Structure 1
Amino acid sequence: MSALDPWLLERLVCPLTRTPLRWDEAAGELVSDAARLAYPVRDGVPVLLIDAARPLAA
């Protein structure tokens, strides 16, 4: 998957912590370091639902 639009990435925040997200290109996910969650991106659309996120390994 290619990188997300930089304009969009600057505006996206974690729905749990309201902190910025970073793009993990290798995994194709948006990562919240503060919440230790990774949000999926499906067909180019970020799925920013806490229930859809996966916990990151410690």
Structure 2
Amino acid sequence: MAFDKKLLDIIACPVCKGKLEYNKDKQQLICKVDRLVYAINDGIPVLLENKAEPLEQES
């Protein structure tokens, strides 16, 4: 199941309320402000702070 990109206009980071970026390859939503990564499971974003992973350093 694919993630509905229209949701990006509606949803926000639960920590800072900022915009999230969609990573299609990894099926993740990324908050660059808080450096957190939220998983997308079966097309549903898991926007829980305690389930977020830290954003890996990009090289």
Gap regions ≥5 residues in structure 2: none
Counterpart position of 2:21: 22
Overall identity of the aligned pairs, in %: 35
State the TM-score, normalizing by the size of structure 2.
0.85
Aligned to 1:57: 56
Match of 1:8 in 2: 7
The structural deviation recorded for 1:7 is: 1.8
Q: Say what the alpha-carbon RMSD is for the aligned residues.
A: 1.3
Is the partner of 1:12 in helix, strand or coil? coil
How many residue pairs are counted as aligned between the two chains? 57
Q: Give the 4+ runs in structure 1 shifted more than 3 A.
A: none
Q: Which has the higher contact order (CA 8 A, sep 6+)?
A: 2
Equivalent position of 2:46 in the other structure: 47
